[in-house]
A and B are shown apart, each in its own frame.
Chain A
Amino acid sequence: MWSWVAQRITGVLTFFFLFVHVLDTALVRVSPNAYDKVISLYKNPLVNVMELGLVGAILYHALNGLRVMLVDFWAGGVRYQRLMLWVIVAVWIVVMVPSAYFMLQYNVEKLFGSN
């Protein structure tokens, strides 16, 4: 049941982000400077961390969606649904750790770097 709750929350969150994201990208039609100014917001350390949260939410939604499809269409899906939940949690961690490294690297170096 909690995997279903999380699927809803991550889905709704992503939908609202998509709304904002299409609006900010539409600025390329207004002027390059307007677009660059708004996109620089995404490079701010705090927003950077929120982006990591967004990527984590979307990745969970994708992996759990795959699991739901396996439960729907694969004969063994129902029997292995709990095991599959642990598998997607493991895959999520394996993907998120290096992603977090590469996504935060720039700001961590800028904030705490010696140079």
Chain B
Amino acid sequence: MAGLPDLAPPGTPRRPAGRGNVERYAWWFMRLSGLALIVLVLGHLFIMTVLDGGVHRVNFAFVAGRWSSPFWRCWDLAMLWLAELHGTNGLRVVINDYARRDATRLWLTGLLYTSALLILALGTFVIFTFDPNLNAN
């Protein structure tokens, strides 16, 4: 076969070096987190917006009552992390689909990851350090 270029056989997947199976894990993560979020988010929405007066009974004292229970703190923490990561990956895919220039994509994705980091850090901090006896003002 001398003289022929060194080509991969037809059908060989073109995988950028070093990317591994990231997209496949992301695909699985969307489905598994989505399943968990159906319970976590729809439960949250039902309690917060429909049940027993809905949002009209929500205030600081209401939050203090709920977060006195480790169960609801764990619920909210799991919901925060899964929803933020699920949404970040979703937006990453949307950005990749519509951003035509590399620079645009880079900036939007950078902004996206920065906001995700901020929200995860802030939300986690608030759930762990909530103080029901905080001064009213």
Contacts and interface: CB of A to CB of B under 8 A. Distances in A.
A14 B34 CA distance: 13
Contacts of B59: 32, 35-36, 39
Interface residues of B, number: 41
Contacts of B131: 29
A58 interface: yes
A26 B76 CA distance: 13
Contacts of B53: 106
Contacts of A31: 134-137
A103 interface: yes
B55 A59 contact: no
Interface residues of A, number: 35
Contacts of B130: 28-29
Contacts of A77: none
Given A28-B130, A31-B134, A69 B60 contact: no
Contacts of B34: 62, 65, 69
Interface string B52-87: 011110111101000000000000000010011001
Given A11-B87, A69-B34, A26 B49 contact: no
16 contacts: A11-B90, A19-B119, A25-B126, A26-B123, A28-B126, A29-B126, A29-B131, A35-B63, A39-B55, A43-B55, A48-B55, A58-B45, A62-B42, A65-B34, A102-B54, A106-B56
Given A15-B88, A58-B45, A65-B34, 6 more contacts: A19-B115, A22-B119, A28-B126, A35-B63, A43-B55, A51-B49
Interface of A: 8, 11-12, 14-15, 18-19, 22-23, 25-26, 28-29, 31-33, 35-36, 39, 42-43, 48, 51, 55, 58-59, 62, 65-66, 69, 72, 99, 102-103, 106
